[in-house]
Amino acid sequence: MLLFTPGPTPVPEAVRMAMAGPTIHHRTPEFEAIFKEARERLMRLFGMDECVMLASSGTGAMEACVTNLCVKKALTINAGKFGERFGKIVQAFGLEHVELKYAWDTPASVEDVKAALAEHPDIDAFCIQVSESAGGLRHPVEEIAAAIKAINPDIMVIADGITAVGVEPIDTTHIDALIAGSQKALMLPPGMAMIGLSNRAVEKIGDGRGYYFNLTSEIKKQRQNTTAYTAPTTLIIGLNKMLELIEAEGYDKFYSDTKARALATRAALEAIGCQLYPKTPALSMSAVYDEEANALRSILKTEFGVNIAGGQDHLKGKLFRINQMGLIPVYESAWVVNAIEWAYDKLGRRPYDGTASKVFNEVYYANEQQ
């Protein structure tokens, strides 16, 4: 079965092999050497001043950013399940909260953010997804971050890049915390989250807050190539291998391959009449609005060996989402759009004529040759 859900994503064989060794103790020079390499590679991936690895799923890193970087009032963007989650975290910690709510296909606007800041001058943190996975939406994060910093550089910009870091280059000039998760674009098993931090963020964290997710304790330890508590050693070994694989070919190639696959998939889907859901699609996944999404996904699974994701909440049964994150062999992506075209035929929507494959190949190779 081809795993084509936007997280978890398949783990490449070389990475699985690297993680198959005996468990090593985390307080040893042997592990510290691996940690150091992984940390240096992670710094290059984020392109930021500092980074930490946390033994938690991505939500733990969202919580750590909120508790360590927001003291007074947070402005959160809710254009889907993950943006809504930032709001719930803020409320769980009793912090003041302003939420800008959008339909799941609609990106946040710079003007709305500026207006909210003008109305609430005590906002000291801003939380947003780079790619909101609920609807496969790309927010204009870099533009909003620049506008926020022009108004007040002390406002901490927290960007959830769980389906964006490792998908496309992100301009972090105005971002203070950028979150990544192991099981999405980084193609590792679930269980680890990573945060890239600016020097401004490290300063604001100060003595840190909380206990397990106290980023000051973690930064202090991780600068010494160890972790405050038991490290997820196997995942860090896997991360080191994964980033080594990506670096061997170079980030430019990694990003351009992902983009070429995403654009080719988008074009192929449109060519067979699919209705792309988000107004500003992310490169991490292709989301299609389809009233027959459940029937389609079931045909893909049982007849074509392809597992894609559906929608959540009000879009349950009305959306399907195809992953684009990771080192995906292009022939697998080509098979997925071909299978969708066949499923449309079986649902009586459109007779199969090979259009999806043809358009996918044309667009993919046009982009690859640039």
Name the residue nearer to ligand PLP (CB basis): 321 or 335.
321
Q: Binding ligand PLP by CB under 6 A: which of 5, 59, 67, 76?
A: 59
Separation of alpha carbons 187 and 10, rounded Å: 6
Q: Is 82 in the site for ligand PLP (CB under 6 A)?
A: yes
Name the residue nearer to ligand PLP (CB basis): 223 or 316.
316
Name the residue nearer to ligand PLP (CB basis): 160 or 341.
160
Alpha helices in the chain (DSSP H): 13-18, 29-46, 58-69, 81-92, 110-119, 141-151, 199-205, 215-222, 233-249, 251-271, 293-304, 330-346, 355-368
> Which tokens belong to 280?
């500003």
Name the residue nearer to ligand PLP (CB basis): 191 or 317.
191
In the range 231-290, which residues lie near ligand PLP by CB under 6 A?
none
Q: Which residues contact 115 (CB under 8 A, 6 or more apart)?
A: none
In the range 100-139, which residues lie near ligand PLP by CB under 6 A?
129, 133
Q: Is 87 in the site for ligand PLP (CB under 6 A)?
A: no
Stretch that binds ligand PLP, among 25-33, 52-60, 200-208, 244-252 (CB under 6 A): 52-60
Name the residue nearer to ligand PLP (CB basis): 268 or 315.
315
Q: Binding ligand PLP by CB under 6 A: which of 38, 65, 66, 162?
A: 162
Stretch that binds ligand PLP, among 9-17, 157-165, 220-228, 346-354 (CB under 6 A): 157-165
Separation of alpha carbons 150 and 242, rounded Å: 37
Strands 306-307 and 285-289: unpaired
Q: Is 58 in the site for ligand PLP (CB under 6 A)?
A: yes
Stretch that binds ligand PLP, among 93-101, 156-164, 197-205, 251-259 (CB under 6 A): 156-164
Q: Which residues contact 300 (CB under 8 A, 6 or more apart)?
A: 306, 307, 308, 336, 339, 340, 343
3-state secondary structure of 280: coil
**How many Cα atoms within 13 Å fall on the side-chain side of residue 192?**
23
Stretch that binds ligand PLP, among 51-59, 167-175, 257-265, 271-279 (CB under 6 A): 51-59
Strands 123-129 and 177-181: unpaired
Binding marks (x or -) toward ligand PLP, 174..213, rule CB under 6 A? Answer: -------x--x-----------------------------
Q: Is 63 in the site for ligand PLP (CB under 6 A)?
A: no
Q: Is 57 in the site for ligand PLP (CB under 6 A)?
A: yes
Radius of gyration of the chain (CA): 21
Stretch that binds ligand PLP, among 118-126, 158-166, 203-211, 224-232 (CB under 6 A): 158-166
Q: Which of 146, 129, 138 is nearest to 62 (CA)?
A: 129
Q: Is the separation of the CB atoms in 110 and 140 below 8 Å?
A: yes
Q: Is 7 in the site for ligand PLP (CB under 6 A)?
A: yes
Stretch that binds ligand PLP, among 25-33, 53-61, 70-78, 267-275 (CB under 6 A): 53-61
Separation of alpha carbons 168 and 184, rounded Å: 13
* One-letter amino acid of 228: A
Name the residue nearer to ligand PLP (CB basis): 59 or 338.
59
The two counts, helices (H) then strands (E), for the chain are 13, 14
Per rule CB under 6 A, count of chain residues that contact ligand PLP: 12
Q: Is 163 in the site for ligand PLP (CB under 6 A)?
A: yes
Stretch that binds ligand PLP, among 55-63, 165-173, 201-209, 362-370 (CB under 6 A): 55-63
Q: Is 311 in the site for ligand PLP (CB under 6 A)?
A: no
Question: 353, exposed or middle or buried, with CB in 10 Å at 0-12, 13-18, 19+?
Answer: exposed
Question: 142, exposed or middle or buried, with CB in 10 Å at 0-12, 13-18, 19+?
Answer: middle
Binding site for ligand PLP (CB under 6 A): 7, 57-59, 82, 129, 133, 160, 162-163, 181, 184
